[in-house]
Structure 1
Amino acid sequence: MASTRQYSSTTTEASPSTAPALPRVLVNDMTNQELIVDFNSGTALRYPSFWLRDHCPCSACQHPSTQQRQVDTFTIDPEIKVSSIQATSAGLEVVWPVSSEATSTDTQTKTQHHRSIYSWEWLQTHPPFIQASGKTTSSTTPRRTWTHVPPPSATSSLPSVPYDSIISTTSPSASGLKTFLQTIHTLGFCLVPRTAPDPASTQSLVERIAHIRPTHYGGFWDFTSAPNPIDTAYTDDYLPPHTDTTYFTDPAGLQLFHCLQPATQGGGESTFVDGFAAAQHLYATSPHHYHALATYPIVSAALGSPAGAFYNTNVARRGYPVLVHSAPLPGVTTPSPATLVQVRWNNLDRAAPGTPSFPNHTALKAWYSAAREWSRILESPEFLITLQLKPGEPVIFDNWRVLHGRLAFKGQRRICGAYVGMDDFRARCRALGIDV
């Protein structure tokens, strides 16, 4: 059994010439017993005994294929304490005391000892408490490495991965898919040269990533300007930089465009802006504007579809702010680019709220002032790139980060493409070993 003293510890000697010292494990036997793991790097993290038992990774407690929990959490004694612990090269080994636990497949209680091994890497990356880890937290905002390209532009300086290396399933060319997805994740934007200028090849490119996400526009789309469009994207009008599907609770993750026919009478160049870089600039130059766009929610709507009206108010009744952040880091009281995860900006789709968004007139004026400056930054030469998309070179981008637009055009212009859900994209990245 664990020591009856307040603290007990276990260490295992490692050969100084062959391996680093193993982490040291302390047992705090006071109320709600915890194991304290000292990782010998200035980091010591706490793990409640009950929490560790609930997250046992053995094949009896976690399905070996689906990784779903099989232990019945609510049959575990809430006051469970370890029987013994051992620091091993494989991780922290814990033997749990004799207990009566009913399994999901057998309603009869079974008396048994249970043994769990938690890898050191897993313990370091799954702390249950918000606590100092001893590590420096870096900004999650990717560095911007593609910049303004004045029209007419050469795209050689923009990130690109050729189609054949992406679509190939044979080694070593299969690594092209990983490079492609890593480029999108890191930079938010990628061109795909050497793509056959037809819808079938374009669709195959999208489906190489994940399933196409269908919307009220359909699944894979192939369109020209239309006389009675359901969205201004189907016109020949100028479109300012924006993100798509801001009126969804979960906006589309990736978006792909393939220009199969440039405008027959000129114009129609596409524009792109790294929204994270623009937000970083706004934060550095006008933090009060950044705060306004990160604080006050906006309602967005798509009202022209025969499928019905779409609003982004299904979960958040007031909508969402333009700059959406993850949960703040410990000690952080105001939003910043370090936790920025999504840009939601389409002024054409902004709708009057059904639920009040602003506490007073001053806040409302502050938002409009911030939005005016944000719009100016997005269309400034420092951040806007303009390029004529062409047959055989589609572009794919992160719709949570990169804003896109289009110059007005004349004549006929044909575009095909599709959306991919962000969850599907991130899952594909993880399957290929890309850290997202």
Structure 2
Amino acid sequence: MDPLRHSSVLAGFVAPSEIIDQLAQHGIALFHGIGDAASLIDLAQTLGVVLPHPDSDVNGVTLISERRESAGALGAGFTRASLSPHTDRADKTVPPPVLVNLCLVQAGSGGESTFVDGVAVHRFLVDHAPEALRALIHPKAVAYGKTHVYTGPVFEPIDGGRRLRLRIWPRSAGRYSREAEEALDELQCVIAAQTVAVRLEAGQGYVIDNTRWLHGRLAYAGERVMLRIAVDPHRGVLRKAGILDTRQGVSWR
């Protein structure tokens, strides 16, 4: 497994005007040159319609910083603890397709953003762990959430089955079938091997296809402030959302 195949994408920061092309090609874009919430909202609105979030303000902007010393797996984002690579709002019927995140203040130590390309994870499972993949694409592989419960595959077929939407939450936040539970160890090893960490400084951020890329954060010390906006993209912004299904005969039924 070679997470460095995305090194050029994850090593370079583009201007806001270049984000759409980068996002369409790679499902992710790192950007620079945005310094406040108003400018971030403007960027989000060029990409699509801003979506409300339970933690956001009236403009759809969520401020992510330390609010408590400790929390459960789903509240770790508001602590200084590490946040495992995940899909935002994986319990929703349709998770937000695009996320826009901006760094306002970077921690003195730690706090690197982490990324995992679901395409690479899926390809490895197809080639090296088809039984684990079969368990993870079963229609009853996982249940997420308490009020808005999603029950279905971890790799969910979309677009008529031609593509897959990746849904991953912290392990302790899901309820899994016996077969999917056994496959999680393999899945988490692949995710760990594919994780790339990027340190964002103030004025830098990223836009990701939330159906394809997992995102997280390393633990940190000091103050760290991020802004997040969820977006339903305009037609054509995500030309190839999610993951191309290349299971080559691996049945999920």
Matches for 1:380-419 after TM superposition, within 5 Å: 380=193, 383-419=194-230
- Secondary structure of 1:429's partner? coil
CA distance in 2, matches of 1:401, 1:156: 15
Match for residue 253 of structure 1?
97
Residue type of the alignment partner of 1:196:
I
Q: Is the 8 A contact 2:10 2:198 kept in 1?
A: no
Match of 1:322 among 154, 169, 174: 154
Partner amino acid, structure 2, of 1:188? G
In terms of fraction of residues, the more helix-rich structure is 2
Structure 1 residues 224 and 181 mapped into 2: Cα distance closer, same or farther (>3 Å)? Answer: same
CA drift of 1:404 comes to 0.8
How many Å separate the matches in 2 of 1:184 and 1:216? 26
Q: State the identity as a percent.
A: 23
Q: Distance in 1 between matches of 2:158 and 2:133?
A: 15
In structure 1, how many angstroms separate the alpha carbons of the residues matched to 2:223 and 2:200? 14
Q: TM-score, normalised by structure 1?
A: 0.49
Give 1:205 deviation, angstroms.
Answer: 1.1
Q: How does 1:166-245 map to 2 (within 5 A)?
A: 166=17, 176=18, 180-193=19-32, 195-218=33-56, 219-227=60-68, 231-245=75-89
1:199 CA displacement: 1.6
Equivalent residues of 1:147, 1:385 under 8 A apart: no
Contact 1:146 1:158 (C-alpha < 8 Å) held by counterparts: no
Which residue in the other structure is 1:369 paired with? Answer: 182
Measured after TM superposition, the shift of residue 389 of structure 1 is: 1.1
Secondary structure of the corresponding residue to residue 244 of structure 1? coil
Q: Which runs of 4+ in 1 moved over 6 A?
A: none
Q: Say if 2:47 and 2:234, in contact at 8 Å, map to a contact too.
A: no
Query: Could you tell me which of 149, 152, 173 is aligned with 1:350?
Result: 173
What secondary structure does 1:190 align onto? strand
In the alignment, which of 163, 188, 194 is matched to residue 340 of structure 1? Answer: 163
Consecutive unaligned residues of structure 1, counting only runs of 5 or more, are: 1-143, 150-154, 167-175, 304-308, 313-318, 330-338, 359-363
Find 2:144's aligned residue among 300, 315, 319. Answer: 300
- Matched residue, 1:50: none
Structure 2 CA distance for partners of 1:349 and 1:398, relative to 1, 3 Å: farther
Task: Work out the CA distance in 2 between the residues paired with 1:145 and 1:187.
Answer: 14
Output the CA distance in 1 between the equivalents of 2:240 and 2:195: 28
Q: SS state of the match for residue 137, structure 2?
A: helix
When the two chains are superposed, the root-mean-square deviation of aligned CA atoms in Å is: 2.7
* Higher gyration radius (CA): 1
- C-alpha displacement at 1:311, in angstroms? 2.2
Shift of 1:417: 1.9
Aligned length: 233
In structure 2, give the amino acid aligned to 1:311: V
Q: Is the 8 A contact 1:252 1:399 kept in 2?
A: yes
Query: Secondary structure of the equivalent of 1:412?
Result: coil
Deviations 1:112-145 (A, max 9, x none): xxxxxxxxxxxxxxxxxxxxxxxxxxxxxxxx99
Residue type matched to 1:189 in 2? I
Cα separation, 2, equivalents of 1:205 and 1:146? 28
CA contact (8 A) 2:117 2:214 kept: yes
- Equivalents in 1 of 2:159, 2:20: separation in Å? 25
Equivalences for 1:40-119 in 2 at 5 Å?
A: none
Structure 2 Cα separation of the partners of residues 426 and 146 of structure 1: 30
Note the C-alpha offset of 1:158.
Answer: 3.7
Q: Distance in 1 between matches of 2:141 and 2:240?
A: 31
- The DSSP-based 3-state class of the residue aligned with 2:46 is helix
Residue 341 of structure 1: CA displacement? Answer: 2.2
Give 1:231 shift: 2.1
**Matches of 1:156 and 1:326, distance apart in 2:** 26
Q: Is the 8 A contact 2:24 2:240 kept in 1?
A: no
Q: Check the 8 A contact 1:148/1:384 in 2, yes or no.
A: no
2:124 counterpart of 1:286 = no
Contact 1:159 1:183 in 2 (8 A): no
